[in-house]
Amino acid sequence: MRHFLWKGNSTVGYPKVAWSTVCRPKEEGGLGIRDILALNKALMCRHLWNVIKDNQSSIWVRWITHNHLRHKSVWTVDVKGGSWGWRKLLRLRSALLPYIDLKIGDGESFSLWHDPWHSLGPLIQRFPCGPSRTNIPAAATLSTVIVDGAWCWPLITDMECIEITHVLPTIHNGSDSILWRGGDFSTKVVYDIFRSPGPKVGWYSLLLGPCKIPKYSFVLWLAIIEKLSTMDKPWLSHLGGVCVLCGRAVETHEHLFFRCSYSRRCIRVLKSIVRFSWPNRAWGEDITWASKRYMGRHIVQAAYRALLAAIVYHIWQERNQRVFKHITRTSSTIARNAIDAIRQKILSIELLDSVSSRGLYRLWRIPWPVRDTA
C-alpha cells in the first residue's frame, strides 16, 4: 500500500497521497496507520518516563541509574557520551517536560538545582553560577530550602538569582511525587504529541460499518480526498482529459461522481432497486450530505454507506477497463454489480431475527433465510 500511495521519491512515479495524510487517524481523514517515527518516539518516551519516575522495579532502569546517571539528574545529565540509544532518549526530555508535574512535598527526592520543579525549568541551566552565588551546594535537595512545610530560602543578594524566589510553587503534605498531567502516562497520548494533528472530518463514518468491503472503502477514501488518477491530473494530460464514460466533459472527481450521465444512470438504477438517495450537487457537498443522511449504527444505514463505496468502486473500475482494456459495460450492469456485492456482504453477516433485520432483507430483495429450529 505504501508504494501504491506514495513512492517517497519525486523522480519515480507520482505520489497519490502524502504519507503524513495516510498516517492520520480515520476521524482526521487518514487510514489510521501509525506514523512509525512518532510511534517510535512515543515508545522511547515510555522508557524515559520510567527513568524519570525512578521505577526501581525495572532492571533496565536500575542499570541506567547505575551506569549512566551515577547520582546525576536525568534532566541535566549531559547528552554527550553514552550509547546512541541513550542519547536519543535524552533528546526527548524537552518534549515530555510540559506534560509532567513535580509535586513538591518534603523536598527530599528532588534536586534543587537539577530537577525541573520550578517554572523556569532546571535552575542550573538558567543560573549556572547559582550554587556559588547563593551558597547552596549543587548537590542539595529541595528540602534544603523547606522548613516545616514552608519555603525558607536564605537571603539572595545576587540580582540574577533573585528571580528564583519571585514565584514559587505550592508545597504539599507528604513526600515528593512526579505526576503525568491529565492522569496516567499513556503511549497513545504521547504519540499524539509527536504527530501533526489535523482537523476532524465528518465523512470518515462513510468508510465504517459492518457492511463495509475494504477495497471499496479504500477507493471511496481516495475519491473523497480527490486522489484518484483522473484525467485532469497533469501527468495524465497526454490521454486527452475527456471522460471515457460519457465522452462529453473533462474527467474530474466532480464529474465522475456523479455529474457524468453514465454515473447518473447508475444512481437511478440504485434508487429504483434499493431506494438509494443522492442529491447530485457538488462532490464535496454530496459527501457532507451523505455523511449526515447515512450516519448511525442502524444496519440499513450501514448498508447504504457500503453501497456508496461499492458504486464509486465499480464506476472507477469501469473507467479503468475502458482506458486500459477497451472493455465496456452498461450502467445498469455496473449498478447491479454494486448491489450484488453488498447483498453478498449482508448475507455474510449473522443478524438477529428482528424487525430491522427483516426490513433490510426486504429492502435489498433478499429472501429471509429459513432457520433450522430443531
- pLDDT of 320-350, one tens digit each? 999 999 999 999 999 999 999 999 999 999 9
Q: How far is residue 289's CA from residue 202's CA, in Å, rounded to a whole number?
A: 10
What are the tens digits of pLDDT across the range 168-196?
999 999 999 999 998 899 999 999 999 88
Mean per-residue pLDDT, 7-33: 78
Query: Burial level of 9, CB count in 10 A (0-12/13-18/19+)?
Result: exposed
Query: Burial level of 97, CB count in 10 A (0-12/13-18/19+)?
Result: middle
Q: What is the pTM of this model?
A: 0.82
Number of H helices and E strands in the chain, helices first, is: 16, 4
pLDDT at 89 over 60: yes
Q: Where are the beta strands (DSSP E) in 138-208?
A: 146-147, 150-151, 177-180
Q: Output the pLDDT for position 286.
A: 95
Sign of CA dihedral 63, 64, 65, 69: positive
Mean per-residue pLDDT, 6-35: 78
CA angle centred on 22, ends 279 and 277, rounded to 5°: 15
pLDDT at 239 over 70: no
Q: What percent of the chain has pLDDT over 70?
A: 93
What are the tens digits of pLDDT across the range 115-163?
999 999 999 999 999 899 888 999 999 999 999 999 998 888 777 788 8
Q: Output the pLDDT for position 208.
A: 95
pLDDT band at residue 203 under the 50/70/90 scheme? very high
Which grid cell sits at 117? 520543579
Could you tell me if 225 and 232 are in contact, meaning their C-beta atoms sit under 8 angstroms apart? no
Interacting residues of 366 by C-beta distance below 8 A, sequence separation 6+: 343, 346, 347
pLDDT at 2 over 80: no
The label of the residue with cell 472503502 reads: 217
pLDDT at 225 over 80: yes
Residues in the chain: 374
pLDDT at 300 over 90: yes
Cβ neighbours of 287 (radius 10 Å)? 20
pLDDT at 13 over 70: no
pLDDT band at residue 6 under the 50/70/90 scheme? low
pLDDT, averaged across the chain: 90
Q: In what helix (H) or strand (E) does residue 68 lie, and over which residues does it extend? A: none
Q: Output the pLDDT for position 107.
A: 94
Q: Output the pLDDT for position 14.
A: 59
pLDDT band at residue 81 under the 50/70/90 scheme? confident
DSSP H helices in 181-298: 187-194, 214-224, 253-254, 261-274, 283-293
Based on its alpha-carbon atoms, the radius of gyration of the chain, rounded to whole angstroms, reads 31
pLDDT band at residue 8 under the 50/70/90 scheme? low
